[in-house]
Amino acid sequence: MDWAALVAGALWAMLPAYVPNNAAVLLGGGPPIDGGRTLGGRRLLGDGKTWRGTAGGIGVGLLVAGALNLARPAVAARLGVDLVAFPLLAALGLAAGAMLGDVGASFLKRRLDRERGAAVPGLDQLDFVAGALALAGLFAPAWTRAAFSLPAIAVVVVATPLLHLGTNVAAYGAGLKTEPW
Ligand code: CTP
Ligand code: MG
């Protein structure tokens, strides 16, 4: 098996899902999605999930997918590997799914009595991967099957927590985030 091609192809296909959460950190603020509502005395989602951050994250994810489509021929030739293009529905599934997974994780965290910003290792790093694959699979099933073979999914599941931790530690170091996760 060509490991370099597998890893490059899998991470490339996930890029429109990697960017939205980071973009939401930069663009977030304003009214929370849950409007302050509570469930059993706990916030539904919390102040960390805002309309602006969510919409901004999805928008940036779509822009990234468009930029990758433009860059694809040159990058693929340079690396000597096949890289997928992103049709609109696939891009939307990845970007919106990443945000949805993150929102779903917040919902779970509040049910588990974790305050905003509390770390839940595993959930924090893979919530958006699960959401992105699920929504892309729903919006663009054939594309998702072609882009994410089982080995590719395995690569994503192993590599994503490492990449995620790296970018969050960097965002924390730069003062953009209040916790390094
Ligand atoms: N953010 C946002 N909207 C989102 C996701 C993130 O506005 N849908 C912004 C918020 O300012 C949030 C920051 O990005 O505080 C960091 O995101 P994240 O770590 O996902 O949220 P937390 O504040 O840790 O909240 P939670 O515990 O609910 O995950
Ligand atoms: Mg957090």
Q: What is the pLDDT of residues 25-79, one digit of tens each?
A: 999 999 999 999 999 999 999 999 999 999 999 999 999 999 999 999 999 999 9
- C-alpha distances in angstroms, 141 versus 104, 160, 178? 22, 22, 37
Residue 105, token pair as written in the block: 């994780």
Q: Ligand 1: which atom is nearest the Cα of residue 25?
A: 14
Contact 56 CB / ligand 1 (< 6 Å)? no
Q: Rounded distance, CA 40 to CA 118, Å? A: 19
Q: Rounded distance, CA 52 to CA 74, Å? A: 34
Residue 139 is predicted with a pLDDT of 98
Q: State the SS3 of the chain.
A: CCHHHHHHHHHHHHHHHHHHHHHHHHHCCCCECCCCCEECCEECCCCCCEHHHHHHHHHHHHHHHHHHHHHHHHHHHHHCCCCCCCCHHHHHHHHHHHHHHHHHHHHHHHHCCCCCCCCCCCHHHHHHHHHHHHHHHHHCHHHHHHHCCHHHHHHHHHHHHHHHHHHHHHHHHCCCCCCCC
Q: Rounded distance, CA 160 to CA 25, Å? A: 18
Contact 117 CB / ligand 1 (< 6 Å)? yes
In tens, the pLDDT along 67-103 reads 999 999 999 999 999 999 999 999 999 999 999 999 9
Residue 179 is predicted with a pLDDT of 84
Contact 97 CB / ligand 1 (< 6 Å)? no
Contact between residue 85 and residue 104 where contact means Cβ atoms under 8 Å apart: no
- pTM confidence score: 0.93
Contact 102 CB / ligand 1 (< 6 Å)? yes
Please give the single-letter amino acid code of residue 45: L
